[in-house]
Amino acid sequence: MTTELTLDARGYCPQVRQVVSPNHDARLDGDAVKVVVVHNISLPPGEFGGDDIERLFTNRIDPAARPGYDELARLRVSAHFLIRRDGELVQFVPTEARAWHAGVSQWCGRARCNDFSVGIELEGCDFAPFEAAQYISLLAVLRALAHRYPLEAIVGHSEIAPGRKTDPGPFFDWAQVHAALPQLRPA
Residues with active-site annotation:
121
| Distance, CA of 161 to chain centre | 14
Give 87-151 as a DSSP string.
--EEE-S-TTEEES-S-S-EETTEE-GGGGEEEEEEE--TTSPPPHHHHHHHHHHHHHHHHHS--
Number of H helices, E strands in the chain: 5, 10
d(CA 77, CA 73): 10
d(CA 76, CA 111): 19
| Distance, CA of 74 to chain centre | 20
Q: Centre a 10 Å sphere on the Cβ of residue 51 and count the other Cβ atoms it contains.
A: 12
